[in-house]
């Protein structure tokens, strides 16, 4: 390992008010001009090349020596905020010092990069009670014992008394007041945690299977997730400047991470910039990566901008990776030009090249992703516009090599890791189902007691559940008993519908919510179970149900067999056709289905699935085979199931 010191204080002094600097930013590779940003910071500004530019036009991304005239390119408001921010500092640093309970519009955008969203309770009348949601960054969902206990304490002292486990293997802490932000952030940093890059236009938390198996492929997948997260972590020190006064924190990075970050042999880096990969503009939008092993689709691999799969030889030794690109869930209602998309194969790389390949993909999106309209700024739109062949050609120029054909892989499975399992090193792990990831009340108290008493590390799963790790076999009985008394049951006692269901928080704090999700899904699942019983489906039969309060897709509803996407007050757009192993995207089936009318839609479908399904055919596969026209006919002619 190479030990390096991140020195935010040193980085900050580069931008003192008596100095002028010139750094490259990301608006083009071909022309530049110098623009005064205020506060004595000068930045080289570039204009984005048109999307039709040929791959052969790609040049090094450092500022050309001879500026050329360039037509100004339209940019979104957020791009201008980033440009003027002095690497995500200004005006957030000033806004945090005011007496106001909130921050201004520019600071709202910048604080996302620090891992926080400004929110208010939308159900309160007579004014807005502002607070902040904090999201941690935990590659592979790993949470050290010390950090878990810290988050538990912070939720009680500064939050709303609950912790939320997210669909990207992190914590969300709601209800933090502005004047407490620095205390909470610094506590997380000083207790083995971080919120840096959990939100904002950069690489988010890197997913990997949460199971702590002592298997070569699982360990290699998790190590790779850690290295990718380190590679794409911001380097300019703005986070530590803001929350721990520039205090130095020692971080240990693998030498291959440092080497890959610094390598500029194919024009990927901004030379002499505090952000060699991101520059001043970072990425056009959020960027999501998942790493896994063959068969294990616990990470919803195909919903990510980049999906990485370990490929091993016949002896189980990891040799390289298949790479998939272009997934993404967010869309906008009644705007068909926005869409959910699953990733497609890009190729195979040997294991020693994975960081360079990932960096090349990120740089391709950085340089060519749209920065004028944020609705179309995710990498999936670049893939859709270019096609995979052109995309591969451009990435290969930044990578410096040709991708090999992807290796054949076995079928994918969804793996929840609920219940007790052997780790393979003599210890056990226990996966616990948590409805919608909300840890509160007696459950929270009991989890704290168990984790503290036995000094357990934990993992958060991409399905909003929690895994207790490194448990000695002699502890199993007592831990099982204590957890059950708090409602944390073994999977055989949890409804299969609940085990695979997910929902986003939605009301009352999410500013984008149109209707209920987390608060509504318990009732929805009970009604689905009642419909199952009415039409004669067995208890061990299930469908994947996911609910979101808006079309942004945080709970990945477009991969569900039954996706309910808020499209009005107490109203949902119904999506059908996903599969239990999350390998097929669903399609919009009906709009504006009122919550009270769910039985009118789903009871006929469940009844006909029971009668007409083929051997082992899932509900999602059944709806795809039947076709939507036939399904609507079944609904309109349904007269009720025989009692």
Contact 321, 306 (CB under 8 A): no
Catalytic site includes residue 286: yes
Q: Which of 275, 260, 284, 261 is nearest to 367 (CA)?
A: 284
How does strand 562-568 pair with strand 545-548?
parallel
CA end-to-end distance (rounded Å), the chain: 67
Contact 24, 47 (CB under 8 A): no
- Active-site position among 82, 204, 341, 556: 204
- Active-site position among 168, 286, 370, 378: 286
- Active-site position among 199, 430, 469, 510: 510
Q: At how many degrees (to 10) do helices 379-386 and 354-368 cross?
A: 80
Contact 23, 44 (CB under 8 A): yes
Backbone angles phi, psi at 232, to 5 degrees: -100, 15
Contact 572, 564 (CB under 8 A): yes
Spatial separation of the C-alpha atoms in residues 130 and 147, rounded to whole Å: 26
Backbone angles phi, psi at 312, to 5 degrees: -115, 160
Spatial separation of the C-alpha atoms in residues 575 and 331, rounded to whole Å: 13
Catalytic site includes residue 135: yes
Catalytic site includes residue 288: yes
- Active-site position among 199, 430, 469, 550: 550
| Residues in a beta bridge with 310 | 321
Contact 554, 566 (CB under 8 A): no
As to burial, measured by CB atoms within 10 angstroms (0-12 exposed, 13-18 middle, 19+ buried), residue 108 is middle
Spatial separation of the C-alpha atoms in residues 424 and 184, rounded to whole Å: 37
Place of tokens 């938390």: 205
- Kindly provide the residue ranges of all beta strands, DSSP E only, lying in 464-534, ordered along the sequence: 466-471, 502-503
SS3 313: coil
Spatial separation of the C-alpha atoms in residues 552 and 406, rounded to whole Å: 30
Q: Dihedral of CA 290/295/297/299: which sign?
A: negative
Q: At how many degrees (to 10) do helices 598-612 and 521-535 cross?
A: 40
Catalytic site includes residue 199: no
Backbone angles phi, psi at 526, to 5 degrees: -65, -40
- Active-site position among 359, 504, 546, 556: 504
- Active-site position among 288, 378, 438, 444: 288
Helix segments in 100-207, DSSP class H: 105-111, 145-158, 181-189
Contact 210, 152 (CB under 8 A): no
- Active-site position among 199, 430, 469, 554: 554
Q: 436: part of which helix (H) or strand (E)?
A: none
**Cα within 13 Å of Cα(298), Cβ side:** 26
Catalytic site includes residue 550: yes
SS3 540: coil
- Active-site position among 82, 89, 135, 341: 135
Catalytic site includes residue 632: no
Helix (H), strand (E), coil (C) string for 74-108: CCCHHHHHHHCCCCCCCCHHHHCCCCCCCCCHHHH
Q: At how many degrees (to 10) do helices 354-368 and 255-262 cross?
A: 30
Residues acting as catalytic residues: 135, 204, 286, 288, 504, 510, 550, 554
């Amino acid at each position: 390992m190479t030990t390096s010191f991140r020195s935010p204080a040193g980085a900050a002094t580069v931008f003192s008010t008596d100095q002028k600097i010139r750094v490259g930013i990301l608006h083009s590779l071909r022309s530049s001009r110098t623009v005064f940003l205020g506060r004595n910071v000068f930045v080289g500004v570039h204009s984005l090349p048109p999307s039709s530019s040929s791959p052969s036009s790609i040049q090094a991304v450092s500022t050309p020596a001879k500026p050329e005239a360039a037509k100004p390119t339209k940019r979104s408001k957020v791009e201008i905020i980033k440009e003027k921010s002095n690497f995500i500092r200004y005006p957030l640093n000033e806004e945090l010092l005011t007496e106001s309970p909130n921050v201004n519009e520019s600071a709202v955008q910048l604080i996302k990069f620090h891992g926080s969203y400004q929110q208010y309770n939308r159900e309160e009348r007579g004014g807005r009670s502002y607070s902040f949601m904090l999201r941690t960054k935990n590659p592979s969902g790993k949470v050290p014992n010390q950090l878990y206990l810290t988050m538990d304490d912070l939720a009680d002292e500064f939050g709303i008394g609950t912790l939320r486990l997210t669909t990207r293997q992190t914590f969300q802490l709601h209800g933090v007041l502005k004047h407490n932000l620095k205390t909470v952030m610094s506590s997380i940093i000083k207790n083995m945690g971080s919120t840096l890059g959990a939100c904002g236009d950069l690489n988010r938390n890197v997913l990997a299977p949460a199971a702590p198996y002592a298997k070569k492929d699982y360990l290699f997948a998790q190590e790779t997730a850690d290295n990718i997260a380190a590679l794409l972590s911001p380097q300019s020190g703005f986070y530590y400047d803001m929350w721990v006064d520039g205090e130095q924190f020692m971080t240990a990075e693998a030498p291959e991470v440092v080497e890959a970050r610094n390598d500029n042999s194919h024009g990927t880096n901004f030379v002499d910039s505090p952000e060699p990969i991101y520059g001043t503009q970072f990425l056009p939008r959020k960027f999501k990566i998942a790493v896994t092993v063959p068969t294990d689709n616990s990470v919803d691999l195909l919903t990510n901008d980049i999906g990485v799969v370990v490929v091993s030889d016949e002896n189980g030794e990891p040799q390289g990776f298949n790479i998939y690109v272009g997934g993404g869930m967010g869309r906008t209602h009644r705007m068909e030009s926005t869409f959910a998309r699953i990733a497609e194969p890009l190729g195979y790389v040997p294991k020693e090249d994975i960081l360079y390949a990932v960096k090349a993909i990120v740089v391709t999106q950085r340089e060519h992703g749209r920065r004028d309209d944020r609705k179309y700024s995710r990498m999936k739109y670049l893939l859709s516009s270019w096609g995979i062949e052109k995309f591969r050609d451009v990435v290969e120029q930044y990578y410096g090599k040709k991708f090999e054909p992807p290796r054949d892989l076995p079928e994918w499975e969804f793996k929840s890791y609920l219940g007790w399992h052997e780790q393979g090193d003599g210890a056990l792990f226990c996966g616990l189902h948590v409805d919608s990831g909300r840890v509160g009340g007696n459950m929270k108290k009991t989890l704290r007691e168990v984790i503290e008493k036995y000094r357990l590390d934990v993992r958060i799963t991409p399905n909003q559940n929690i895994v207790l790790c490194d448990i000695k076999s002699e502890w199993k009985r007592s831990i099982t008993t204590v957890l059950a008394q708090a409602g944390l049951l073994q999977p055989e006692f949890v409804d299969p519908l609940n085990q695979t269901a997910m929902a986003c928080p939605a009301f009352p704090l999410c500013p984008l919510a149109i209707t209920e999700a987390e608060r509504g899904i318990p009732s929805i699942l009970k009604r689905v179970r009642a419909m199952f019983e009415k039409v004669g489906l067995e208890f061990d039969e299930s469908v994947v149900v996911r609910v979101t309060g808006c079309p942004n897709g945080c709970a990945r509803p477009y991969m569900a067999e039954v996706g309910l996407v808020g499209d009005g007050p107490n109203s949902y757009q119904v999506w059908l056709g996903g599969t239990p192993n999350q390998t097929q995207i669903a399609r919009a089936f009906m709009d504006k289905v009122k919550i009270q009318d769910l039985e009118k839609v789903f009871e006929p479908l469940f009844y006909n699935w029971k009668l007409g399904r083929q051997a082992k055919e899932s509900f999602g596969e059944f709806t795809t085979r039947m076709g939507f026209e036939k399904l609507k006919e079944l609904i309109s002619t349904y007269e009720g199931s025989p009692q």
